[in-house]
């Protein structure tokens, strides 16, 4: 039976509290000594009054109602929900890291600066780029930072602004949003019938107004753009720069590098490829890597290693685009990614990528007899199925996604990419075992059978979750997130 969890405010009882902390008998500063009196509260904040076990139980109960990667399979295509090793959290929680303040002097934070410098070196090696900034806090912010770098490069080298960034029609929504935020207009490039960039359309659109192209590799159908050299050559010949949306670097790391394919800039979603927690637009980390000619434009501060092996923060970069985040972005996330890459080593990173590709291709082969898979050539770490055969029998891909919840799986991404009707985008990641993939495939086959025998069961799913179907549009447009007494 489902028991509704009350809000923690509703559990509040006046006078309840956790461990009482005795009053300090050491004379110290009064709040009014450090904060202007007019800014101080006159009434205490309306915080819930609960005991420690009540707080713990409240949040543990909520966490088991939610679906998360520690609970079961989470094949959310494009989002790379892979298991995050707990050792990463242990590293980031070390008091020597967690207790630092970003305004401490360089001398007192040598270890933290060294860690970030080393992470930059590792990312340079993996991407083949010459310079890296760790500052952006998400892939989308990396795109925005990269677009600002592109703008500054053209303004400075050509002395005039180029206005367009080419974007494939299959692009992730953040791509056009980022380039518009950076002051460009997106120009859409068509895909061909193989789901890849249409070279003729690209040739027609790349011109003297083209500042660059933002391209996801492998693309959002999970397919490797094997014409990448020709694509880069067309854009470069028009004077544009090539930006790789590196959200899918987990299909490339250790096997090939963005620089080898002709990219000038790439972002790296550390919270995907390098298994740091996924922050939903932050607090993640979306470092960008750039080729040599673009290094002067990277955000400040930049970390340098001096000849005597010390690490310093350098703010003196006159051509820099400035800051895109305070200090170095989300340091705790950087520690986790550093730990993951160090733990795997070079051969481990390669193995990670190969496993992600094998898992996706294995699952694709298991689903192919039942589900329509329109684009299959060159599948890398994820693939897109189309629920058209199921729709003909009265069940939409939304219903299939809901039915999967009853099997204890998070649903894959649905209705993206938009150039596949009834699309379901599945990314198993390398952290799943063959047994888990088999269990998921069995559930998908069973759902397909139930469509013929008992379609109502799929239409009314989920029945095993804490809440059933919600009015998602209303929840989105009119969220009710505020507690009032």
Give the footprint of ligand PLP on this chain (CB under 6 A): 78-79, 138-140, 172, 174, 216, 220, 245, 247, 269, 281, 284, 286
- State the minimum distance, in angstroms, from the CB of residue 379 to ligand PLP: 16
- State the minimum distance, in angstroms, from the CB of residue 145 to ligand PLP: 12
Is the CB of residue 123 less than 8 Å from the CB of residue 132? Answer: yes
Residue 142 vs 301, nearer CB to ligand PLP: 142
- State the minimum distance, in angstroms, from the CB of residue 173 to ligand PLP: 8
CB nearest ligand PLP: which residue? 139
- State the minimum distance, in angstroms, from the CB of residue 137 to ligand PLP: 8
Residue 284 vs 301, nearer CB to ligand PLP: 284
Residue 424 vs 443, nearer CB to ligand PLP: 424
In this structure, what is the dihedral angle of CA atoms 455, 362, 88, 220, given to the nearest 10 degrees? Answer: -70
* Rg over CA atoms, the chain: 25
Please, what is the Cα angle at 318 between 316 and 324, to 5 degrees?
Answer: 85
According to DSSP H, which parts of 314-392 are helical? 331-367, 388-391
Residue 296 vs 329, nearer CB to ligand PLP: 329
C-alpha 213/C-alpha 233 separation (Å) is: 11
Axis crossing angle, helix 174-181 with helix 139-157, rounded to the nearest 10: 40
- State the minimum distance, in angstroms, from the CB of residue 220 to ligand PLP: 6
Buried residues in 285-313 as b, exposed as e (16+ CB within 10 A): bbbbbbbeebbbbbbbbbbeeeeeeebeb
Residue 218 vs 296, nearer CB to ligand PLP: 218
- State the minimum distance, in angstroms, from the CB of residue 284 to ligand PLP: 5
Residue 139 vs 258, nearer CB to ligand PLP: 139
- Interacting residues of 377 by C-beta distance below 8 A, sequence separation 6+: 194, 195, 223
- State the minimum distance, in angstroms, from the CB of residue 356 to ligand PLP: 14
C-alpha 174/C-alpha 229 separation (Å) is: 24
Neighbours of 175 (CB within 10 A): 25
CA 211 to chain centre: 25
Q: Beta strand 265-267 with 288-290: parallel, antiparallel or unpaired? A: antiparallel
C-alpha 387/C-alpha 397 separation (Å) is: 6
Closest by CA to 329, choosing from 184, 84, 132, is 132
- State the minimum distance, in angstroms, from the CB of residue 122 to ligand PLP: 19
Please, what is the Cα angle at 246 between 165 and 149, to 5 degrees?
Answer: 45
- State the minimum distance, in angstroms, from the CB of residue 218 to ligand PLP: 10
Residue 50 vs 426, nearer CB to ligand PLP: 426
Is the CB of residue 446 less than 8 Å from the CB of residue 434? Answer: no
Residue 139 vs 387, nearer CB to ligand PLP: 139
Residue 281 vs 322, nearer CB to ligand PLP: 281
- Interacting residues of 121 by C-beta distance below 8 A, sequence separation 6+: none
Residue 78 vs 390, nearer CB to ligand PLP: 78
- State the minimum distance, in angstroms, from the CB of residue 274 to ligand PLP: 12
């Amino acid at each position: 039976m489902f028991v509704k969890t009350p809000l923690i405010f509703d559990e509040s009882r006046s006078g309840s509290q956790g461990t009482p902390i005795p009053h300090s008998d050491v004379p110290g500063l009064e709040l009014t000594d450090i904060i202007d009196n007019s800014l101080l509260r006159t009434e205490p904040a309306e915080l819930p009054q609960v005991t420690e076990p009540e707080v713990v139980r409240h949040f543990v109960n909520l966490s088991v109602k939610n679906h998360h990667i520690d609970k079961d399979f989470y094949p959310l295509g494009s989002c790379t929900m892979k298991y995050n090793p707990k050792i990463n959290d242990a590293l980031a929680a070390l008091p020597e890291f967690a207790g630092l303040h970003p305004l401490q002097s360089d001398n007192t934070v040598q270890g933290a600066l060294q860690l970030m410098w080393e992470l930059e070196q590792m990312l340079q090696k993996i991407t083949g780029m010459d310079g890296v900034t760790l500052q952006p806090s998400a892939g989308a912010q990396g795109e925005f930072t990269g677009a600002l770098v592109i703008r500054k490069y053209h303004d400075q080298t050509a002395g005039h602004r180029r206005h367009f960034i080419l974007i494939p029609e299959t692009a992730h929504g953040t791509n056009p949003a980022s380039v518009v935020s950076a002051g460009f207009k997106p120009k859409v490039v068509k895909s061909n019938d193989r789901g890849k960039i249409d070279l003729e359309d690209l040739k027609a659109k790349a011109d003297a107004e083209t500042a660059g192209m933002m391209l996801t590799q492998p693309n959002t159908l999970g397919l490797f753009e094997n014409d990448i050299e020709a694509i880069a050559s067309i854009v470069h010949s028009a004077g544009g720069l090539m930006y790789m949306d590196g959200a899918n670097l987990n299909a490339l790391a250790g096997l090939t590098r963005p620089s080898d394919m002709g990219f000038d800039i790439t972002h790296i979603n550390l919270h995907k490829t390098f298994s740091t927690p996924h922050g939903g637009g932050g607090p993640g980390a979306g470092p960008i890597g750039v080729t040599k000619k673009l290094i002067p434009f990277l955000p400040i501060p930049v970390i340098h290693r001096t000849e005597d092996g010390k690490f310093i923060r350098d703010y003196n970069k006159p051509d820099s685009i400035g800051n895109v985040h305070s200090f170095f972005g989300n340091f705790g996330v950087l520690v986790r990614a550093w730990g993951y890459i160090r733990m795997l080593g070079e051969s481990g990173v390669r193995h990670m990528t190969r496993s992600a590709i094998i898992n996706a291709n294995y699952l694709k082969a298991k689903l192919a007899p039942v589900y329509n898979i329109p684009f299959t050539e060159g599948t890398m770490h994820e693939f897109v199925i189309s629920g058209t055969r199921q729709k003909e029998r009265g069940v939409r891909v939304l219903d299939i996604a809901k039915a999967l919840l009853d099997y204890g799986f998070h649903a894959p991404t649905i209705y993206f990419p938009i150039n596949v009707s009834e699309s379901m985008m599945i990314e198993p990641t390398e952290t799943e075992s063959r047994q888990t993939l088999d269990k998921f495939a069995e559930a998908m086959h069973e759902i397909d059978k139930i469509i013929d025998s008992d379609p109502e069961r799929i239409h009314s799913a989920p029945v095993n979750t804490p809440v059933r179907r919600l009015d998602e549009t209303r929840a989105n447009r009119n969220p009710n997130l505020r507690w009032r007494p």
